[in-house]
Structure 1
Amino acid sequence: MRVEKTYYLFTILLALGMGMTVSSYGPFLREIGLSLGQIALVNAVFWLVLSVSEIPTGLVADGRGRAWSLRLGTLFEVAGAFTYFFASGVWSAMLAEVLFGIGMAFLSGAQQAWLVDALRAEKRGEQVRHAFATAGILSGVGMLVGGGLGALVSMWRPHFIWLPMVACGLAASWLAARHMEGWGNPETAMTEREAFRQAVRTLRSNSSLWWLTGTMLVFGLVIPFNNYWSVYFEEDAGRLGLAGVWTVIYLSVMAGSWLVRRVRFADHHEGTGALVALGTTAVGLLVLPAVGFPLSFAPLVLHELGRGALQPLSDSFVQRRVESGCRATFGSLLSLIAKAGNVSAPLAAWWFTRGMGNSQATIAGVWITAGAIMLAFVFLLWVFRPREAYPISS
């Protein structure tokens, strides 16, 4: 199986399993007894565990092998989904999020690094951004199909939305063991300590990477949207209608990835493209609660277009500037710093919503605040944007 096809299949399996849960995640947590504030709190636990696990798991990926890391990550996600299947309150939800956080840490960095080095081993490194964008589109298909099916399943048995994630995770783990092992490892092998030192040196010496880290830190302000969109729209669209809302969301994400795939960016324009995508995301989040249903679909599309474009642009921006031997470790280091925003945003939402009602108005207040803060930082990032690119490898 070709490198890209293996990566695409792995991506689709993860997306399909996750997609089964996303359209009903908020309502599911409400049904097992969590308030809006507690939903934000358990999500903050997920991001905190993911953040502190990033460096150790990235070191393992560069030292033990990317496929080994991907296999272990999928198994932790299976354990998290199985725990949610039996969840009955805030503590069992926290345990599930801890398992998901560890699993995602093993996947982050290693997944992208596997593709980059596998392609470069075949002398096709110029296809990296195209492959990332294609994977983004296929991930959107998996999430789209899964989201629609998940909304239907949740109307029958809410807990059953987690079982397809167990099946898809086991299949992805088998794929990593059978078809990804031996590929996608560093061109120049490094020990875990060497990989960490090289990753730190790379970050310290490259101002463009520091700037992108700030961009991704600000992007963490979208987390309250992830937490609450299904609860927010369920009031107007109903549980089954969430499948339609999810269709709009992920068609827009796929369109954003498609635009990146179609437009050719010079190396020094990828960062500007990422910042434009972040600004588009912020505007959509700010305006969405200010207009009524169904007019809110317009800013929703804008928000998701930005998000769909940002990921492949930022992935390509980073991977072109990092040496092979520490690529997974650097991805984890960058993610660790950037995810401070992913932890802070839901914690702030939890604090903000304490003592407030579990209503659309509460969610709207959180989104408007997050969108306004994000736009202010977009302006600052534009002012201090890097004027040059510093690619280490081509």
Structure 2
Amino acid sequence: MPPRTAIFLAATALACASLAIAQPATAVRIASLDTMSGPMAGLGLNILKSFQYSARLANEQSWAGAVRFEIVPFDNRLSAQEALSLLQSIIGQNIRYVVQGASSSAVGLALQEAIEKHNGRNPGKEIIYLNYAAQAPQMTNARCSYWHFRTDANSDMKVAALASYLVGQKEVQRVFLLNPNYAYGQEVSRAARSMLATKRPDLKIVGDDFHPLGLVKDFSPYIAKIKQSGADAVITADFGADLALIVRTAREAGLTAVFYTLNGNNFGVPSAMGAAGQGRVKLVSAFSPNSPPLVGDPLLPGFRRQFNEDFINGQGHNALLMLAQAIREAGSVEPAAVAARMSGMRFQGVNGPVEMRSSDHQAQQPIHVLSWEPVDGKTVVHDQEGTGLGWKPVAMVPAQAAALDTRCQMKRPP
């Protein structure tokens, strides 16, 4: 062995040993980079509290051994430009982990690209992006990144699960598509048209409308158009304050169509629909609060006791479970070592086993179809927002059936 190589290997071994010795005092700071002001503030602040709660549980229960987690909030104001500006501050503070999702896939895509460029230019100072809710399919397809890990299902997976469910719902004959006008909403519209044509060719799409994200104050023209179309079902990727306003407007207008949502459990939406949404609002989600093992778990009631709000961030909780396991198994808090462990990892999530697929870093897990129904202590144990109603499991698409092929050509570090 050449002398220089031997010296390098010895130095590397010494550095690793030093890290292992120093690790008990390590604190891992995680930037929560989401919307915490403006029209989506309620959702963003609820998510922030859930990350802080999950981090506290991780610390108390030593998920990552002696390593401790700290959540550092950053308000991106629902703006990709603001998120990129804050990313520079995050880099300057030497924060190496970022969670984001509730402030849209437009922010997520910009963040993903910026982190990819930063990591390519700064080896040894990499940042990992943990995406718990930004669902745009291209994030794990054509625009995938080795440093991006999505614990939620992407919107194509959710629409595929919904299309499979609708095969057995022959009473649904006329569907209206209503979505926010940016990458995520456009992808949901495209996927719905394609997948419904394949699995329900008898079903007619009677409308396909888009609206600006977070800017519409009156959705009555959109609801009037849905009523005029004769739709008996609406498929929407809307979330947060927009979805709450849509559901409230539909209720006031007497629209009887069933809403199939990808984000119906978002903060504020259950209160907006109340009893009027019973049996008429469905949720397609990777998180099912009334499915085992969560029914008897203290996670949801503990959060409600502390914050007087509902825990809806199951995929964010999964992100911390995955991160903690990777740190523990890698024996390191360095993103390069942690990313290598998370790629292809299998771990136990809130609703059961999850695989972080190595080819595209898209979590593989079951997709649930849930219906807004009264609490009965059996099928619906946890209500939401004090309404006396919660999400009843009505169907479940197994992980293998929910999996979709990927077009990801991931550039991996040497």
More strand by share: 2
Higher RCO (CA-CA < 8 Å; seq separation 6+): 1
More helix by share: 1
